[in-house]
Structure 1
């Protein structure tokens, strides 16, 4: 069987085996992240957050969207909106014009947009409404984004919608919904293998525990989220979990709070952290410095980030800056100069039921009233602060979180069981496929082997028939040649001899000598004279000498043979050498040849080599005309040997190995 064919079959088997192995996925990851989609020059520009301040940014995406719409490429237009929405989102930027663009596009083409981009649109519109403080609108759009997952993207954006809902529900005091959304978000992110977003979702649930003052459980979840964030190497997730730890330590009055603030500052400076996130971290640093009465350093930080605070639309960053500013002003013994501005925000925050933000501003207003020694006003704000805090804090929520977490874990295990069952079924299918493929492979190998065997037998039968046919034809040709030699040579000479009996006796003797030589030549061709008595080597040397004289052809010999074979076997070797030399003279166009006969320990080696033009051995043997070659092979077999014929442009080598008989 050809080696390359076997390798091909083994390759097919390996491909099947690897295909089966590739079906063995993680128990949790259902939808793997597809390869990054290629972006053209415009899309690359739109993804760059630094370009948001460019005057042409809005015009660029608007032109591209309009171009796709005119071509009827609605999903391509939705893709541009998704790219721009993500750029605004990750850079904490809010743009009312972009919100309007999304709303108008959604209103016109909602039914034509694929689910993937639809869930993306709902998420970005909902998150932007949240940053505006419009919680009802945010919840409405985010709930629309909770589509049935069908691939990586729909699962990922469903998780994003749930995550954002978890934060909003926490802020407005809807604890059950907040925890449930957070745990579901973690599950969705787990299904797509996104550890960074899993960390964010866990951190959101931990935030709910923090506002419920279950600090121990909140700390456990935060530690778990922090490890996931580090594992993901996602800067935003790492900073997010650090900020949650800072809030937790601050509320707990934890002894490590100041040390962790310093660590977070170092961490933020080492990583490529956004300016908005730096405001959040440095706000804690300002509060620390204010408590330590290091007011000059606190004022330096506030001055450094004042411009960013004024320009940013990221409400969380604004609120943390204002809290830090209030702490600084309180430490200086001054009232807040922005107190009227803060009071004006209260009605809108109340309307949106954002109790977390309400607590922040009531705290600022209370501290300002204490600073100004307006204790009646301070008491009023303290009461309002407690009412807002009670709207968030609920003792029952501590057990509720654990109940929902247990429920989530049960659902997760059930889902894993379903996935495991699916994997078992899938594996069984793969095993069956593998067994079937292996059986098919073995059958193919067996069929190929049988076919090759039959082909070889047919070829051998054909060659044998051709050899027999040629043997009979050659026997007849030999008889004709002998008859011709006797008729044309001996008969003719005898007639001449009869006619010259009356002539000189010397002429008669000469003629008789010619007849004798002719008879000897015919006899020698039929069978070497005295072969049984003088053996192989002298007869081969005589053959070589005769051929050289007749053909002007050089033949060298190397014969180390003592006569271990029978006379009959030696005669076959003689005929093989004779046949080989005849073929060389007729066909090889060689200048020289060499005959080797070596008697080795376990075998007799015969080699006939020439420097002729060579030929295709396989083609010649199967042509039905290579009687001489088959004659060599068959004679080798008769004496228990094996002939090997190789040929190239450099010449031909016939090698015969005959095992010695012990």
Structure 2
């Protein structure tokens, strides 16, 4: 459970039980206690086990179940420590699926704590790697939920909905209704918080409740859904319905993460009563929320202290190991010096006379060998120089051919595509003085570019003014009454290296040309952001888009496939995000 937009909604990220074959018969009872939400019984049963007689794998399993039970009763500091022990043992046993379960549990523990996002991000990277290697649905579900939550935090509703709905597809593929429930509930939250579309929010939340009622096996999940339903009604000022659903959510008995859950319920009830003008009840629930909040903050402090103690003990052991290694190194050095002195004396005594006798002869041989080596090096150098000259000539010719082809396609092609669009508007009778003026300017621009290419001066306005002015000038020339290009920038006060600016301009120009040719769009946005030595380029349109099964290889000519190769050649990455009738977003990240 990721608590996002605290004190309002639950973003659902379902927890999972360890996917191991229990090798100790008591583990079966413990799993049953955890599944039945009886964590205290699970802890008591685990304390009766003598771990000294367990195998390394069973010890890892023991600590995992102990951590899961502790997490369900709010002992997050102990749960965090025991999960790390379990993960270390599973890693030693080469059990990657069990290490995955440990990472999922660690993320769920950190998500109810403040100030630990950096640790959660490291675990996300491990999840991403595991998903790419193993295609595990649990890991993919968790990763999609966390990415969707980050888009939600950054006010990007469409991208958040995209990743949340991926979990519905996973749920249907693997016949896991809990995945679909989580997907619809989280989509409902996006519609309510960001889009303010409360009817759509109610639709998706009711859909999640309907799926839950088909197989009601987790009352805590139903409680979360009721809370979200109540919050939506509160936003619509349906206070009576909101109070009914809040009371339903609070009345359901839950046995895991009680403190964090009740904190949200009491805060929401306090907010509702305040909106209703019932300040007495609002104050009472605010006091209840504060009592629970103080308890949770104490638990967060315990984790922080545990981290400090772990770091201290680790540093202490490292210092002891360094001292021990230093002592051993000194002893070995002393022994080595002693033996070296003895052996050196023997060697010097036996060889000094031979060296004196053969010194003159060796000098003559060495001189002859050195002369031969010098002659060989000179000959080899001449051959390599000749080969390098040939290679450089061939490479220069190929590069010049490629540059000319790209200039004709990107530079002149973009201008002619825009000119074609203007002429089509004139032909259909939609033209005005601006369209005619733009057409004349585009014709002049095409003429200038042909002259520039002929004189091998392809940099144009980029070399004179820089990347950003060149892109803005292109946007101004291409824009018409029926198609507008908007340019946004951040952090581009200083110019980039000239060759890199030219390549970026050509790539951007080709992407805009593709929008004009294929997207049937009325608006396009080019966003350039320089952040932490990385240039982020986003080109978006509101056109017809295409199906996500589309691949670059299906594109004819010098299209997306060609652009991707250019981006890779300068060390960057390219991502495409598109849906039919939803427009297209192309995201490029380039190192600077």
What TM-score comes out, normalization by structure 2 length? 0.43
What TM-score comes out, normalization by structure 1 length? 0.39
RCO comparison, higher one (Cα < 8 Å, 6+): 1
Of structures 1 and 2, the larger Rg is shown by 1
